[in-house]
A and B are shown apart, each in its own frame.
Chain A
Amino acid sequence: KNQVEQSPQSLIILEGKNCTLQCNYTVSPFSNLRWYKQDTGRGPVSLTIMTFSENTKSNGRYTATLDADTKQSSLHITASQLSDSASYICVVSGTGGGNKLTFGTGTQLKVEL
């Protein structure tokens, strides 16, 4: 069964600090992996996308890494801001079948003063 597991489940950090979120998946065959940011009560918004041939992708203060051999991804947030407080969801897409997506349960990040 295709699964995506994220850790930690929740995280509290001080403003200005860095943090790293983890994602492990068992989706096969693999097509791409995306990280989404979801603010409370809103729909998720895509941050990065990586295919099996990409190791690193950056979007401002967000840097995602992918190890397709170990089926692990991480999202690193640099110099956190209060507005980074949100749920971060790892989503993996398999090939074929019309882009059916497998979602992780998300990491709830809270940035405090």
Chain B
Amino acid sequence: DGGITQSPKYLFRKEGQNVTLSCEQNLNHDAMYWYRQDPGQGLRLIYYSQIVNDFQKGDIAEGYSVSREKKESFPLTVTSAQKNPTAFYLCASSGLGQGYSSDTEAFFGQGTRLTVV
């Protein structure tokens, strides 16, 4: 089955720790994205990548880091510099079409709920 997989589903982090969220896709999509979702707010873009070994900051990149060593994988590290990391994190992937076809549809993973303890 083609799809996008996030793991783990639930993650607990102690103060001062770095944690890494996994995102893998087998849809052959060029673009991958990380979003953060907080109650009552829309999804906010953390980082995105359109090609291997290249990525761009989104609207709320501070305290986060990413890598894109493979087309299929786009892990997100929540560092200790992120002061309020408790949230629901969503990874997505899409093609890089001209916007008029289903190739540009963003497919989402099932999310990772991160809680600071």
Contact = CB atoms under 8 A, between A and B. Distances in A.
Contact of B31 (A31, A43, A98, A105): A98
Chain A contact residues (Cβ within 8 angstroms of B): what range?
A: 20 to 34
Nearest to A94: B99
Interface string B24-53: 000000010101000011111100101000
A41 B37 CA distance: 10
A100 B108 CA distance: 14
B90 interface: yes
Interface of A: 4, 9, 31-32, 34, 41-46, 49, 51, 89, 91, 93-95, 98-101, 103-106
Interface of B: 6, 31, 33, 35, 40-45, 48, 50, 88, 90, 92, 94-100, 102, 104-111, 113
